[in-house]
Amino acid sequence: MTAAIECLHAHKSFREPADGEDRANHRGRGLASLRVLDLVAPRKVRVDAVKDVSFQVKKGEIFGILGPNGSGKSTLIRLIATLLTPDSGTVTVFGQDVVCDRLAVRRCINRVSVEAAFFKRLSALENLEYAARLYGLDAREGKRRAEDILERLGFLHKKMTVPLENLSRGMQQKVAIARALMTAPVALLLDEPTTGLDPVSKREVQDFVLEVRETHDTTVILTTHDMQEAERLCDRIAVIHGGEFVALDTPQNLKARFADGDGRVPTLEAVFFRLTGSNVDDWMREQGE
Amino acid sequence: MFDKIKSSYALVQRNFNMVRRDIGWELVFIVYEVVNVLTIGFIGVNGPKETMNERVLYLVAGALLWGFLSALFHEVAESVAWERWEGTIEYSFMAPQPRGVYMFGVCMWGILYGFVRTAICLAAVTLMFRISLAGANLWAALLTLAASSLAFIGMGLAAAVLPLISPEKGSPATHIFQALVLLVSGVYYDVSVLPAWVRPFSHVSPATYTLRAARAALLEGAGLRALAPDLVMLLVLGVVLIPFGFAVFSAGERYAMRTGKLKRNG
């Protein structure tokens, strides 16, 4: 059976300004390595964001990607979302290549990003009407679907005409979810969709993701920092660290892998710390950043 | 085809909603533009009374045409910078539509927006100076405006690539480009007054042909036959610049997707 989403040896790197250590190493090589250009433009180094990542997601599966900040989660999502082209390797969505069949892939997917990407002076309805038309839906049908989803997510009807800049982040995120689901995508990319939501809203969104999978057999890739959420929603979880997958299994198997001699299984959070070489202090510091 | 046009309309409707929400700022911009055109018109009031109408019309036509063309250019060239600023660039650009559909919507909005602003300025100018348009060929002037829109859309498409490939410096660069077109195109003076080394640039600016043809239509009542050389030149520039601008934009988008620049600011 063809995988719904498949990454084969995907690699992506970016040129980024050199940090202090790189610059110091560069200076250490003496005057010969100085460039006139360094005086006006910062030296850049190539940084691998995603390194030789391979995985398959089955149709109707909820596939989680966990990783510290800057580990490559969002880059991976953006590769699948056709917003980035891989340096090497292939990424396909329902058999369509994200580089060669970009439009076909875009017809299958939608995405919710961690930032609420809206015209914030426009209302939820105005934003959704724009999205419906741009994505080729009948505006009235799009509006009806979006209203249904928003009501299901506990979004008050009277708030639909209020500019989004006057709504809480949680409300904005619910609109983002409604916008993504309005187009009935067969593959949904959720990049930290519940970050910043209160516990009730978080639970509502999680329930809705499960419901969408049950009713529409939607394939979901979910990145999150919330271990409980990952454990509740995901059929399988990949842990990414430094651009590489360091583990990929069901939540139960991941925990079982690190069971102690007495057969006691650790929490998913403890597994995460072990796999990423972090401890709680590092983790808290990263989240603070 | 009809479906694509309907999708393009998303951009027109979205921008109209934005203008409606920011109506206070729009009023400020329109008042500023009206005052600017009137100020330029008053320069023509000085001098012999019998030729005042011509002088005022010459200057005002320049200000109005430039207002329209620069609004159109600005809307197209800044479309990417605006999406980036709002944080919507990724969502808009991953829509399952060919990029031409998106850009067509942006251009349609640019033409409508520029036209409405120019019409408001024209009404204010007509009231203030009581300009006589008795001998003017208004249809020919409108046709000139339509022909020049194509070339300016092409230039706007090419300029829109700057904010795409350079998130921080791209937007200011489009303003420099716009200012250079203003300098060489004879908006408020005849291009013959330009230094000899600058003059050749006026030949490649579509605004030069637009202004010359529109002034001939408004001041001398010139017909299509007399305007044909300038109109043909504008159409040729449009036919060349639109595919060129689109090709440049598409190449810029591929570069942005390769280098990770197709994303919001911050």
Average pLDDT, chain B: 92
Is residue B2 very low, low, confident or very high in pLDDT (cuts 50, 70, 90)? confident
Longest dimension (CA), chain A: 67
Which ipTM did the prediction report? 0.88
Task: Determine the distance from the C-alpha atom of residue A35 to the mean position of all C-alpha atoms in its chain, rounded to a whole number.
Answer: 39
Distance CA B159, CA B171 (A): 9
A120 touches chain B (CB under 8 A): yes
Distance from CA of B165 to the nearest CA of A (A): 14
At residue A62's C-alpha, the angle toward residues A196 and A99, to 5°, is: 95
Half-sphere exposure of A71 (CA within 13 A, CB side): 25
**Total length of chain B:** 266
List the structure tokens of B236.
């040729």
Tokens 């920011």 correspond to B22
Of A97 and A281, which is predicted with more confidence?
Answer: A97
In the predicted structure, residue A36 carries a pLDDT above the cut 80:
no
Distance CA B242, CA B80 (A): 17
Under an 8 A CB cutoff, do A103 and B14 touch?
no
Average pLDDT, chain A: 87
B 10-29 residues with CB below 8 A of A?
A: 10-11, 13-14, 17-18, 21-22
Chain B CB contacts of A163 below 8 Å: 21
Q: Return the pLDDT at B53.
A: 87
Indicate the residue of A81, A83, A133 with minimum beta-carbon distance to B7: A133
In the predicted structure, residue A20 carries a pLDDT above the cut 80:
no
Is residue B230 very low, low, confident or very high in pLDDT (cuts 50, 70, 90)? very high
A11 touches chain B (CB under 8 A): no
Phi-psi region of A64 (alpha: psi -120 to 50; beta: other; left: phi over 0): beta
Is residue A287 very low, low, confident or very high in pLDDT (cuts 50, 70, 90)? low
Distance CA A215, CA A77 (A): 24
**Total length of chain A:** 289
- Which region among A157-161, A187-191, A236-240, B226-230 has the lowest average model confidence (pLDDT)? A157-161
Residue of A nearest to B23 (CA): A121
Under an 8 A CB cutoff, do B88 and A15 touch?
no
List the structure tokens of A210.
């499960």
Residue of A nearest to B98 (CA): A103
Indicate the residue of A103, A111, A133 with minimum beta-carbon distance to B10: A133
Write phi, then psi, for A69 (nearest 5 degrees). -60, 140
Distance CA A220, CA A231 (A): 14
Indicate the residue of B6, B91, B262 with minimum beta-carbon distance to A133: B6
Q: Are B206 and B212 spatial neighbours (Cβ–Cβ below 8 Å)?
A: no
Which ranges in chain B belong to alpha helices (H)?
2-21, 23-43, 52-77, 79-86, 89-93, 99-129, 138-165, 170-184, 199-204, 206-220, 224-259
Q: Return the pLDDT at B266.
A: 45
Q: In the predicted model, what is the mean pLDDT of residues B255-259? A: 94
Of B20 and A286, which is predicted with more confidence?
Answer: B20
Is residue A22 very low, low, confident or very high in pLDDT (cuts 50, 70, 90)? low
Mutation for A interface: B9, B91, B165, most A CBs within 10 A:
B91
Percent with pLDDT over 90 in chain A: 60
The 8-class DSSP code of residue B169 comes to T
Under an 8 A CB cutoff, do A135 and B95 touch?
yes
In the predicted structure, residue A65 carries a pLDDT above the cut 50:
yes
B265 touches chain A (CB under 8 A): no
Chain A CB contacts of B98 below 8 Å: 103
pLDDT tens-digit map of A195-214: 888 898 889 889 989 999 99
pLDDT tens-digit map of B71-122: 999 999 889 988 988 889 999 999 999 999 999 999 999 999 999 999 999 9
Q: Return the pLDDT at A27.
A: 53
Indicate the residue of A15, A120, A136 with minimum beta-carbon distance to B7: A136
B98 touches chain A (CB under 8 A): yes
Distance CA A191, CA A52 (A): 21
Phi-psi region of A30 (alpha: psi -120 to 50; beta: other; left: phi over 0): left
Write the CA distances from B176 to A170, A239, A267, B149, B180, integer angstroms: 41, 47, 58, 20, 6
Is residue A139 very low, low, confident or very high in pLDDT (cuts 50, 70, 90)? confident
Q: In the predicted model, what is the mean pLDDT of residues B37-59? A: 91
In the predicted structure, residue B202 carries a pLDDT above the cut 50:
yes
Angle (deg, nearest 10), helices B206-220 and B52-77: 150
pTM of the full predicted structure? 0.87
Q: In the predicted model, what is the mean pLDDT of residues B215-243? A: 95
Under an 8 A CB cutoff, do B17 and A126 touch?
yes
Under an 8 A CB cutoff, do A115 and B10 touch?
no
pLDDT tens-digit map of B82-94: 898 888 999 999 9
- Which region among A35-49, B5-19, B235-249 has the lowest average model confidence (pLDDT)? A35-49
pLDDT tens-digit map of A170-193: 889 889 989 998 888 999 999 999
Distance from CA of B106 to the nearest CA of A (A): 12
- Which region among A191-195, A206-210, B2-6, B209-213 has the lowest average model confidence (pLDDT)? B2-6
Chain A CB contacts of B95 below 8 Å: 106, 134-135
List the structure tokens of B3.
């479906």
Tokens 């409980």 correspond to A228
Q: Closest Cα to residue B32, out of B66, B3, B1, B67?
A: B67
Residue of A nearest to B260 (CA): A84
Under an 8 A CB cutoff, do B86 and A118 touch?
yes
List the structure tokens of A50.
């995603």
